Amino acid sequence: MAFPPLHNFKVFESVARLGSLAAAAVELHVTIGAVASLKVVIV
């Protein structure tokens, strides 16, 4: 089983902690679209 890149977990954690795609994007210094485009699957 392949694991997603660690960056995806960093994005997921930021969104969960901050409660907002926009706030996570600001914190990570990326666009909102970049945050929204990441697909993180939790099994």
C-alpha–C-alpha distance, residues 23 and 36, integer Å: 12
Look at residue 42 and tell me if it is in a domain: no
Look at residue 25 and tell me if it is in a domain: yes
Q: Specify the pLDDT at position 25.
A: 94
Give pLDDT tens digits for 16-42. 999 999 999 999 999 999 998 886 555
**Are the C-beta atoms of 7 and 36 separated by less than 8 Å?**
no
Q: Specify the pLDDT at position 8.
A: 86
Look at residue 16 and tell me if it is in a domain: yes
Q: Specify the pLDDT at position 40.
A: 59
Tokens of 28: 């990570």
C-alpha–C-alpha distance, residues 35 and 11, integer Å: 7
Q: Specify the pLDDT at position 43.
A: 40
Number of domains in the chain: 1
User: Which domain range does residue 18 map to?
Assistant: 6-37
Q: Specify the pLDDT at position 29.
A: 96
Look at residue 1 and tell me if it is in a domain: no
